[in-house]
Amino acid sequence: MIRGGGLNSPDIAFMLDQCHNVENKIEGQIRSVLNVQEMTARALLIDSEALTKAQRAGDVITANDIFMDAFYTDVRGDLAEWRASRGLPADPIRAFRESGYQEQIAADRVGGTQAGWGA
């Protein structure tokens, strides 16, 4: 039995639906992407062979241990290295803050017309 494969399917579109009332909108989006990266990396750590064996044996406790081992693994350092190896910021939120982009777009909006549902 083969399960999963969603990451390799062209028929699946991944989206983030954000509604930021307190946090910075762009930083919130970056944080959401980092969360998705972390959860995906943890999912890839699941020992599928051991999990299949536990499932076939009806061993729920071992199957749970296999999931917990993967999902309690801190993958942040590995993901930072992965990003850096591709020329991307190891710490995207820090890079965004240091870029000055947020301050620039805020300054560009001064005196502009407010946008929104009632605009």
Residue 14 lies in a domain: no
Is residue 2 included in any domain, yes or no?
Answer: no
In a domain, residue 11? The reply is no
* Domain assignment of residue 50, yes or no: yes
How far apart (Å, rounded) are the C-alpha atoms in residues 115 and 112?
Answer: 9
The 10s digit of each residue's pLDDT in 88-114 is 999 999 999 999 999 998 888 887 777
Here the contacts of 115-119 (C-beta below 8 Å, separation 24 or greater) are: none
Q: How far is CA 4 from CA 43, 44, 79, in A?
A: 10, 11, 22
**Residue 74 domain flag:** yes
Number of domains forming the structure of the chain = 1
**Confidence class for position 119, pLDDT limits 50, 70, 90:** low
> How confident is the model at residue 63, as a pLDDT?
96
Domain extent, residue 36, equals 28-107
Between residues 33 and 13, the one the model is more confident about: 33
Higher pLDDT, 29 or 90: 90
